[in-house]
Amino acid sequence: MTVLDTRALNRATLARQLLLDRADLLALDAVAHLGGLQAQEPQEPFIGLWSRLRAFDPTVLSTLLTERHVVRTHLMRRTVHLLVADDAVAWRPRHDAMLRQRVLGVYRSELDGVDLDDLAAAARAVVADGEPRSMPDIGRALVDRWPSPGPRVLGEMAVALLPMTQLPPRGVWRAKAGARYVLLSAWLDREIAPPTAAGADPVGQQLVRRYLAAFGPAATADLRAWCGLAGLPAAVTAMRDELVTFRDERGRKLIDLPDAPRPDPDTPAPVRFLPAFDNAILGYDDRTRIIDDAHRLLSVAGERVVLVDGRVAATWSVESGTVTVDPLRGLSRAERAAVTEQGQALASFLSDDDSDRVRVGSSPR
């Protein structure tokens, strides 16, 4: 079985994540290709798409949200993702059990004695009028029946139990707004299909294909880390005749789509600025293809990072129109120049061309 080293996996990831070459894709098609963008920080998907698309207009993504072609919803890993509407409708039922269990894992003692099916029915009755509500608002409407957990816990559980979406203006370019929820079916004016009967998992197989197209080659543990679902090995087994296999340097079995890009490991990789919680990093169990283990927790903490030669080499922030880069390793003169150039472009994007100021800090000793 062919062994793919870390650099080969890195270049494959960059190509599929649209980070090796900026793509000539519409924003909607890019969101679909990537299987959604993690979006708990509402403005970060705009940076993610700016780094991936050759001609990205942030107002286009805002319009896609307000016109209901993309939605913000809790899905993979129970984090807020920006997804195309078709994917949200198709994938939400497959995530139902995981979403329920993840909230229950946090609030098991508070929800002791609460029948979750009863809670789901009561919450659905509350939100049936289509009025946008925050999580605490939903919880306050339920607290008379279940006083012990309190409105926060009840609201979180209700949003996990029911397919809900966050409404604009949250997630609109430059907008600041709290999270307000309505039923996904009401917002999109279509029903959410129930989960597939046991024994058949067409949605699981679709998730495998979509994941590999955007993240492969990868192990099943990486797939699980991306979506949070534990039951996809059966889908992988059912697809074995349409997949190819490799090994990584750690001996893990990797699966992939036969015709997906696997560039030459010597392919040059340009500097790219990634937003907080970018799935190019978080979408793997073994993230060493793109970030050193010593820096793994940076992405979990929400640090924005800079890729140099395809790997995380710095963090970045922006304040008063100035992009500040803090290297995590020594940068050559050519690398510093490339970071500065790309940082200037990012500063211009974030400031509507009002500033291209960049400060690259000293390399660590």
Starting at the edge strand found earlier in the chain, the sheet holding 70-74 runs 37-38, 80-84, 70-74, 164-166, 181-183
Whether residue 147 has pLDDT greater than 80 = yes
Tens digits of per-residue pLDDT, 102-129? Answer: 999 999 999 999 999 999 999 999 999 9
The continuous run of DSSP H or E covering 164 comes out as strand 164-166
For the chain, what percent of residues have pLDDT higher than 90?
Answer: 94
Average pLDDT of every residue of the chain: 96
In whole angstroms, give the CA distance from residue 360 to residue 336.
7
Tens digits of per-residue pLDDT, 290-348? Answer: 999 999 999 889 999 999 999 999 999 999 999 999 999 999 999 999 999 999 999 99
- Whether the CB-CB separation of 323 and 330 falls below 8 Å is answered with no
Over its C-alpha atoms, the chain yields an Rg (Å, rounded) of 21
Whether residue 9 has pLDDT greater than 70 = yes
Tens digits of per-residue pLDDT, 166-222? Answer: 999 999 999 999 999 999 999 999 998 777 666 668 999 999 999 999 999 999 999
In whole angstroms, give the CA distance from residue 160 to residue 151.
14
Average pLDDT estimate for 266-284: 97
Whether residue 146 has pLDDT greater than 70 = yes
Tens digits of per-residue pLDDT, 74-108? Answer: 999 999 999 999 999 999 999 999 999 999 999 99
Tens digits of per-residue pLDDT, 37-73? Answer: 999 999 999 999 999 999 999 999 999 999 999 999 9
Whether residue 283 has pLDDT greater than 70 = yes
pLDDT band at 276 (very low <50, low <70, confident <90, very high): very high
User: Which residue in the block uniquely carries the two structure tokens 């995530």?
Assistant: 95
